[in-house]
Structure 1
Amino acid sequence: MKLVVNAIIQRELKALIIPLQDYWSHINLIDLSRVCLSPALDHQSDGVSFAQQTARWWHKYQKELTDFFANPQVLHLLGDFRKWLLRQSCEFEQEGGCVGGIVIHGNYPYCSPRCWHHDLDDRLSHVNWLLRFGLQTIASHRHSKQIDIDHVVSWAVINHVADLLPEMLVAEFNQVPLPSIHNQMVPMPTDILARHVKPINLTVEPEPPAMFMVKPKAQRFQSEKYLQFVRSLPCVITGKSEGVEAHHLIGHGVSAMGTKTHDLFTFPLSHDEHMNLHQIGWQAWEKQHSSQIEYVFRTLMKACELGVFN
């Protein structure tokens, strides 16, 4: 995780003082034994980096996320929390006086790792260990050290526990308001998410009969459900969510005159941008907006991450 902070330079002491009181709640999930310093870039001059903003979102939903991770079904999917805790150091290790091995202190799963000596200490834990475990586990599945709301939602969808997500968090993910006394007609955010994510029953035949034919007839993969999913995504160029169409990849040796490529090789485009691509030609369009193959790949990645394919 990266933080952009305003450091105080003490030239006579040849020291750099970094006040962390405003950031401590955001950095208690990471190990500060090693720190890398570098000048802030121009776009970071306001003192707020992308990673810091990422830290703020989970801090905002700390209670809701902790309750989500504490759900027995979710906790089972995350892995062995007890085993993970026992591999940690005593949470009061920096104070010294640690004696014996690590034990689990407190009521499971709202607990913490402590040595035998500090297990007798009545102080509350200063770290949300369950939250740390959940976020680190989801981040490790993505081979990343940073995590955002869409990463948590994607993990929940893939593991079929999206209905257990906190409504407030899903509302921010969908960018929709929560139902209120004055506006009861607004659907619940998790219901909106469930409507957008509909699994596709994709059957894989490892040895299709066509493999044993001398000249098999090429078949075109078609899936209206997958095209519906692509149309539910925002346009890759304009970001608009209304009037989105599924554009089939053209050129690159995958399409011929009057034919369409497989429905899997599609990505979302607004109507105007879709028409523009066909009017100016795919080569001219790619000079302006990058390769179609890149957008097809991103769309397939999104489908896999959201659990579109069963």
Structure 2
Amino acid sequence: FFSDERVIRAAGGAGALSDWLLRHVKSCQWLHGDYHHSETVIHRYGTGAMVLCWHCDNQLREQTSDSLEQLAQQNLAAWMIDIIRHAMNGAQERELSLAELSWWAVRNQVADALPEAVLRRSLGLRAEKIRSVYRESDIIPGEQTATSILKQRTKNIALPSHTHQQQNPPQEKTVVSIAVDPESPESFMKRPKRRRWVNEKYTRWVKTQPCACCGKPADDPHHLIGHGQGGMGTKSHDIFTLPLCREHHNELHADPLAFEEKHGSQVDLIFRFLDHAFATGVLG
């Protein structure tokens, strides 16, 4: 239930999970490492996420394991329970009841994602017996599932208007379409003048994304510096931009080498951000 994408969106989405982790986890969660850097970042894994130090994030990037999956799902479940408990009763000191979980799911129109056994308990129905062999007399024609019963009982309930917005979130539309010209005039020149790629629409979108280092709201998008890019009176292409909060933006410009030692190469960070932009259809 907790790993269902509709349920995650109803609870606030992956960004809300990252914010919650940054507030509640102050050190690296990967306990198998022999060294931990002082700075931490959000490491997304499947539908969940975890807090890792910069060193472990680099070590575990692109890796998969049962331990990582378990940690990511534990964080996802803990966040979800905290969100639902707060939404239903505002109390953080007691456990979330099954009735509260079910009602939250109904209010947010994701009750069909609950396991059948959970719904049967919520509705006071007898647990369904699983037999290895069924006789013909055991089969009850037209017997309703707990999911269908719940739908019937709640179909006339007036739900808050925001739940409908959560159920059908707008799909992220392509922000920038990249034109390809295999016969551009410059491509036939021996020493073509460098033409900088500029796209304000893309940089405005970059500014709306969370900081690549800490997940906080980004400041002005950072253009790649060093690595043969940028210089006096010019910037790198707008495609080579990265969302950074004011604190990390200042940190990078104050000492690029120290920043990259702590958070990773700008090139790696921009590559991962571009992968995100293409994967979500922002670039196309």
**TM-score with structure 1 setting the length:** 0.42
Of structures 1 and 2, the one with the larger relative CO (CA 8 A, separation 6+) is: 2
